[in-house]
Chain A
């Protein structure tokens, strides 16, 4: 039985959206953050996300275990990230072009292999009920939290800590800031970037598993709708800081929930227009943060388009 919440339904739905929709953003943006801090851009994470979603769904369907699906999705992401890094480590290869090629290839492959998965229903990931204290069903459903969301929340500060306080994190940053300094230290830049990109792919794959196994919780070709690409833009918005990546992901998740939220209180006009909120947000952020007169503070020194 639904309780009528009036206009309170909108912020509540946005909170629910922030929790539910943001998880793939968190994983992909943390993955891309790690990759870019090592001095490489991986635009292929959209493909990794879709491929992860498809493979997670397939494996969950076959084995009956959604967590096996999550693991496989991560490993597929690891392979795709590793492939991207290996190609980019060749001389005179541009990481933007490679990323776009891999994005298209992985998306196409996922659609091709995922054809038989559209109909059957795979077991979904279970959720934790954090809304037990409330009698209002909307609050209870809004506070259904997936374990992957919890993992994402923990991962962001962990990555932030690792980049500041561990040798491993400092070496990743060094590779991203100055190739010469990294070489002088005896660090193999190619190897560091390979590992960072592969780890970033692993996280993105898990983000994909969340899409097909929890929310929306099925496999179809329109599942991702560019979330992987938006997560890349989000990293720039977050100035390459994992903690800010987390906040930005929550913001994007909330923006994505605006239109269903408005619909639930009876505002049906412009449903698709409000559906574009995250994309408009992306565009607005890019315009605000870009300037011909200033360079971005915090941008890794080796990150460039012309290489």
Chain B
């Protein structure tokens, strides 16, 4: 059924959106937004979380119907009420999370995404045809691997190749590099850039990273709170101008200044640690690391290189296969009693899922560490709610958690506030060791600055901090020492002042 794409434009399409508005109840997600993407250009859509970027592209792709406004492709007004219509016009989208089916091979995935699948599939012929298609493409993917076995960069390439395979010539990329190493990101974006140069495709990319805008984009459209905040050619704009369009004028709390101090005694010592992932594959491989009192050790790396398993072992959510973890020189198995005795606090990634019970109240969630100790409990059996709520109120006040009351379920809070609530819980007592993973993932500017300030403040108080983050900028900003994890091993270790970003980036890619 190639007829589905019969009237798709042959070259790279131009796209124009005029006066798009979209309301959800009383909330205006998009308010009179216009955007012009020229044929064969590399256009970037910038904006903070919640600025309306995804609403805009979902309207373009037909997942939402805008309340008002028009869309033009190659200067002709078109109607897009359904994703299949968008597809028929040659519009394709690559999502931030992968949409390929993990338990199927790349070949099966490609075939299934075609509008027409034959009743009985001749795999030999299909493979030959797909290989011929890939031969004409700037990059390739292994056809017979299950998608689950591909590295993140390969998955991203497969997603992009699939859109090209489906004859899409206008491709929307939603933060395509968030899961890639800097090297992989440059390779993928560089190739896409060359394809736009040759007039093969038009690209609209959502991103937060100015570096990518400067290196690859031709033009930029900036959204702020659902409105158009600015647009222009990248050549005419500098980073300061784009940043101001993006965040407007606002007071961002500065990160707490780090106090210069010599590293103290070793608090956390990891020796030759090994752990497996959910499928039984080795995920953490002979990892050794020491964190001293009063320093932040940052572990940089692209997601999926064993960070999750490492944090789970340290947080008591996973058994190590081998190796020793010591805290204060004593063997540490991450039991509740040991965490209490050694004053270990843990802020895992996605705290709502990993460190909270969504249906329980904010006060109850904040009491998880000490609900069974006086004054919250008498005799270790009878719980007292009043002291728990009082303690929660104090923490809510001090860490500025925005919640209607201490009794609201914690799942009703926004991401940043859940993060603050859990951080408040973990830092409220006396802490000697803080383990943090991706603390600012998906938060807005204000929340990011505040959470980072809390972490640095803890370090200044003499807490040993192990920070695992996929955001290299975060590591560079916070850490005293940096180690790079790749395929479960630490590859490169350096003090953060004087760190060579090129070396770190190459270590992240395994070089």
Contact = CB atoms under 8 A, between A and B. Distances in A.
Contact of A293 (B100, B108, B121, B276): B276
Contacts of B319: 293
Contact of A180 (B99, B119, B280): B99
B117 interface: yes
B123 A165 contact: yes
Contacts of A174: 101, 104, 112
Interface in B264-289: 276-280
Interface in A175-222: 177-178, 180-181, 184-186
B120 interface: yes
A170 B121 contact: yes
Nearest to B113: A185
Nearest to B309: A293
Nearest to B121: A165
B99 A181 contact: yes
Contacts of B103: 173, 177, 298, 300-301
Contact of B120 (A165, A293, A298): A165
Interface in B105-152: 108, 111-113, 117-121, 123
A177 B121 contact: no
A166 B123 CA distance: 10
A16 to B, nearest CB: 38
Contacts of A170: 108, 111-112, 117, 121
A37 to B, nearest CB: 10
A167 B84 contact: no
Contacts of B84: 186
Contacts of A293: 276, 278, 280, 318-319
Nearest to A165: B121
B99 A185 contact: no
A168 interface: yes
Interface string B56-92: 0000000000000000000000000001100000000
A167 B1 CA distance: 14
Contacts of A307: none
B279 A177 contact: no
Looking at B103, B120, B276, B318, the one whose CB has the most chain A CB atoms below 10 A away is B103
Task: Give the one of A166, A177, A301 with max B CB within 10 A.
Answer: A177
Interface in A288-307: 293-295, 297-298, 300-301
Contacts of B123: 165
Given A165-B123, A184-B113, A185-B113, A295 B101 contact: no
A166 B121 contact: yes
Contact of A294 (B104, B112, B121, B278): B278
Contacts of A185: 112-113
Nearest to A294: B280
Contacts of A166: 119-121
A184 B62 CA distance: 12
Given A167-B120, A174-B101, A301-B101, A184 B83 contact: yes
Interface of B: 83-84, 99-104, 108, 111-113, 117-121, 123, 276-280, 318-319
